[in-house]
Structure 1
């Protein structure tokens, strides 16, 4: 990263900031959950439906936008998404009815899905060596978005009401859309796009079919989906978990929940660097070890209520580190590795889309589990998902060893 020229630094920093800003109009729902429950008296299951509607819309959008970015270009798709997401966040802040919440937040899910394929496409065009290190550091952009959003939106919700947490983020999203349009080039001047798909429906269909025929990408996508059960659970329910287990206020719970993405920043950077150093062994063994480590950390959450707050915070940090390390490798580095044969945006959209299909079912299901069985029931679900994800990655490693 030290050898980057001025243009590469500008692209990396601006693209990083653009994607981080998306999270202000995504995590505001999670931050506001306890206050919405208290104000409008909706059950956790009902609010889980809103999160699930976001996830299915986001998943569909990932599949579609991954292909569109490879055919139409990243910048115009991302600018459109930032503006639409800002508008939906603003509308959510004025709504009251559950049906309106579901509709508005599902549209926001599609708008948010424009971000990841677009930024991965731009990074894959600009950076063509040490992709583990570059991808690992860049993959922390959504974690910085988390880290920025939890305390900021928690403070806004606690001091100005939960609706303010939806009415303030659009200003930043509109600004980032302008900066992206003016100052981010999709590829270095004079260079061809690494992978530009045929425009139109035929190009989208051909690209999607090509990815479906790749056993490696499909297997990684399934493992990512299982890991997404855990990530989605922590992202959506962490403030409520802290609010109930430790009887914290909404703003304090939001601040403490920030240790999860903080741990993830370290996990992303370390995993990316290690994957470059151990490149001859492939990136899958590092993913496997980190997911197994995550499972061991999750085991400790069964007795969380008996732990001190300090120990609980430390465990959340470790969970973030071991969760987001493999998450970043699968969502960022793997797509960049396949930029020449399938298109980085298309692979990123497919993997992330599969993950959010899982979230669609996991979000309301976890809400139902917590309502009926308490937080230990949710931990059991996350643990089973983590072990299953590790099993799929282990099978890929085993298949690769047999071929040698």
Structure 2
């Protein structure tokens, strides 16, 4: 049974090269490249719709007495903890997989989990379902990046990676604005139902948009097509899995994993607790808090799209300089949001806008692009999985610690519960500062074409 399942998802055999004129080859390649890029960009955005749906329903759940902040932290942590290991495992599988089948399956299953989540009220069922969601969520990022390495040349990848990474901003914007409106009007359960239905439709569409690697379609590899030596298959007799394991011997990959973990603490603190923070600390309603939070992913579209251009064209593919720029802006944005003068809605929008612009870049660089630039193309999925393991262990720890810190600062006066976020904010802001400091230690590391 397992063997049959693995065979279904594995990449197809190489087909003989089609006898095509250069004009026909260009036309076919362009068609596939356009389709797969559209698929991974929009498709991965909808992975975020089904990942962040819990973030906008926390106050309704707390107000109903259904769960505590600590329990919500454990539920959120279940997704990230399973996602961390799932991203490593599925990252390894992505180097062998038919991405069309693999990624579409992940999104469809995540949609089903969201539909089920809105139908229960039991804490342990919430934990199990959200942990399961973490596993199928891990079938999104690595396949997307593997697709980029299979269909696009090295000189194209930085800019396109930045554009692809706006997908998470698309998903966040849909969640923080669209899902928030649904929850305000129809209740928290409806939020999961709408998220699941939208993702189901997108998962089916992915089957038609995505494609297996070029050689399985009788097309030359991207390295051959674009005359790109860095994108050519690595020569040698070492099995791919043994080559993948060699990334563990690259210190820069470990360091970037730690830096990414720290930036994921601040990133998912905002994503998962930001709306509750705005409601509890700054006194906004859900309908008011949603658009403020929605500013981050909307401006993040610009930040993500420009991140590749800035690192490729302004800094001549030096990801470290771009990381310094974006990481510094991330700290500034959080500083304005958390420590700016109170009762100023425009400063809240400004802080979230700067944070959204900058975090789209820091996550793109630390969450994958810098590491895959430093390692051979054959291990792209493995590197993404390894960095993802670190990143989402950081996010998982964040949810547990944040929930505990928020609950620890809780006071009840005349039956009214008030949450103090001071300790949590210090934790979130400090993680962003440490992330940038750690990332700068790999400034002088050079790329490798062989491990």
CA deviations on 1:286-338 (whole Å, 9 max, x unpaired) are: 10232123223333344356141111111111111122211112334335535
Structure with the largest fraction of helix:
1
**Which residue of structure 2 aligns with residue 385 of structure 1?**
431
Residues 137/331 of structure 1: CA separation in 2 closer, same or farther (3 Å cut): same
Give the whole-Å Cα distance in 2 for the aligned partners of 1:302 and 1:10.
Answer: 41
Give the whole-Å Cα distance in 2 for the aligned partners of 1:19 and 1:344.
Answer: 17
Q: 1:122 aligned to 147, 158, 162, which one?
A: 147
Q: 2:173 aligned to 147, 157, 165, which one?
A: 147
RMSD: 2.4
Q: Which is further off, 374-383 or 361-370?
A: 374-383
Residues 162/271 of structure 1: CA separation in 2 closer, same or farther (3 Å cut): same
Residues 293/169 of structure 1: CA separation in 2 closer, same or farther (3 Å cut): closer
**Which residue of structure 2 aligns with residue 396 of structure 1?**
442
In structure 1, the residue corresponding to 2:121 is in which secondary structure?
A: coil
**Which residue of structure 1 aligns with residue 256 of structure 2?**
220
Residues 49/195 of structure 1: CA separation in 2 closer, same or farther (3 Å cut): farther
Contact kept? 1:298, 1:379, Cα under 8 Å: no
The two structures have a TM-score, normalised by structure 1, of 0.90
Q: CA deviation at 1:108?
A: 0.5
Q: Which is further off, 129-138 or 150-159?
A: 129-138
CA deviations on 1:75-133 (whole Å, 9 max, x unpaired) are: 22212211221111111111111111001100001011100111111122111123221
**Which residue of structure 1 aligns with residue 302 of structure 2?**
266
Contact kept? 1:124, 1:336, Cα under 8 Å: no
Give the whole-Å Cα distance in 1 for the aligned partners of 2:40 and 2:276.
Answer: 31
User: 5 Å matches for 1:320-399?
Assistant: 320-334=356-370, 336-337=372-373, 340-373=376-409, 374-397=420-443
Q: CA deviation at 1:195?
A: 8.4
Q: 1:309 aligned to 327, 345, 349, which one?
A: 345
Contact kept? 2:60, 2:188, Cα under 8 Å: yes
**Which residue of structure 1 aligns with residue 220 of structure 2?**
191
In structure 1, the residue corresponding to 2:402 is in which secondary structure?
A: helix
**Which residue of structure 1 aligns with residue 208 of structure 2?**
182
Q: 2:124 aligned to 99, 110, 114, which one?
A: 99
Residues 83/281 of structure 1: CA separation in 2 closer, same or farther (3 Å cut): closer
**Which residue of structure 2 aligns with residue 10 of structure 1?**
35
User: 5 Å matches for 1:29-108?
Assistant: 29-108=54-133
Q: CA deviation at 1:399?
A: 6.2
Residues 26/75 of structure 1: CA separation in 2 closer, same or farther (3 Å cut): same
Where does the alignment leave 5 or more consecutive residues of structure 1 unmatched?
Answer: none
Give the whole-Å Cα distance in 2 for the aligned partners of 1:307 and 1:38.
Answer: 24
Contact kept? 2:259, 2:439, Cα under 8 Å: yes
Residues 160/394 of structure 1: CA separation in 2 closer, same or farther (3 Å cut): same
Give the whole-Å Cα distance in 2 for the aligned partners of 1:209 and 1:6.
Answer: 35
Contact kept? 2:39, 2:206, Cα under 8 Å: yes
Contact kept? 2:149, 2:377, Cα under 8 Å: no
Give the whole-Å Cα distance in 1 for the aligned partners of 2:338 and 2:388.
Answer: 29
Q: Which is further off, 333-342 or 121-130?
A: 333-342
Contact kept? 2:163, 2:308, Cα under 8 Å: yes
Q: CA deviation at 1:196?
A: 8.6
Q: CA deviation at 1:39?
A: 1.9
In structure 2, the residue corresponding to 1:320 is in which secondary structure?
A: helix
The two structures have a TM-score, normalised by structure 2, of 0.81
Q: Which is further off, 74-83 or 20-29?
A: 74-83
Give the whole-Å Cα distance in 1 for the aligned partners of 2:120 and 2:152.
Answer: 43
Aligned length: 393
Give the whole-Å Cα distance in 1 for the aligned partners of 2:278 and 2:304.
Answer: 24
Q: CA deviation at 1:280?
A: 4.4
Q: CA deviation at 1:281?
A: 6.7
Give the whole-Å Cα distance in 2 for the aligned partners of 1:72 and 1:131.
Answer: 20
> Over alpha carbons, which structure has the higher Rg?
2
**Which residue of structure 1 aligns with residue 5 of structure 2?**
none
Give the whole-Å Cα distance in 2 for the aligned partners of 1:242 and 1:396.
Answer: 36
Give the whole-Å Cα distance in 1 for the aligned partners of 2:172 and 2:64.
Answer: 25
Q: CA deviation at 1:57?
A: 0.6
CA deviations on 1:151-207 (whole Å, 9 max, x unpaired) are: 11101111111001112222222222222222321334413486899xxxx965x35
Q: Which is further off, 4-13 or 308-317?
A: 4-13
